[in-house]
Amino acid sequence: MQTTNLPAPRTPLYLEVQFRRNYARQDTAGILKNISLSGAFLEISNHDLHLDEKVNLTFIVGSRERKIAAQIVWKNSMGAGIRFLPLNNRDVQIVDDLIYYVESKRMGHRGILDGILKKVS
């Protein structure tokens, strides 16, 4: 059986995030424009991100602050493709929660999701 390196299906979103390079002292603002369990597109203007550079993302999901490590895998003038670097199952769950939150919000299931997020926090 042959495996491919096709990207995971993306969920479009518009989520303001902060990220910090591993060596940086301050955060930089960006916008996640799409997301999957494996990565996302980080829109940022006037950036000097480098391939394979590691960053730490901070975002808000259901009034909770979340953090996850990522790596730059490609870049263009609009931003960069990032691959999540989960350290444990909780990191994977954070991304999954965000995807579910975005999809549920679109479909009007916000009340159900808020209940779930309160239970897991």
Residue range 1-27, pLDDT digits in tens? 444 566 677 889 898 999 999 888 889
Number of other residues whose CB lies within 10 A of the CB of residue 65: 9
pLDDT digits (tens, 9 = 90+) for 23-54: 888 899 999 999 998 999 999 987 889 999 99
pLDDT in tens, 63-112: 778 889 999 999 999 999 999 998 888 888 888 888 887 787 776 655 55
Burial (Cβ within 10 Å: 0-12, 13-18, ≥19) of residue 62? middle
Domains and CATH numbers, the chain: 11-120 (2.40.10.220)
User: What's the maximum distance between 2 C-alpha atoms anywhere in the chain?
Assistant: 46
Question: Residue 53: its pLDDT value, please?
Answer: 95
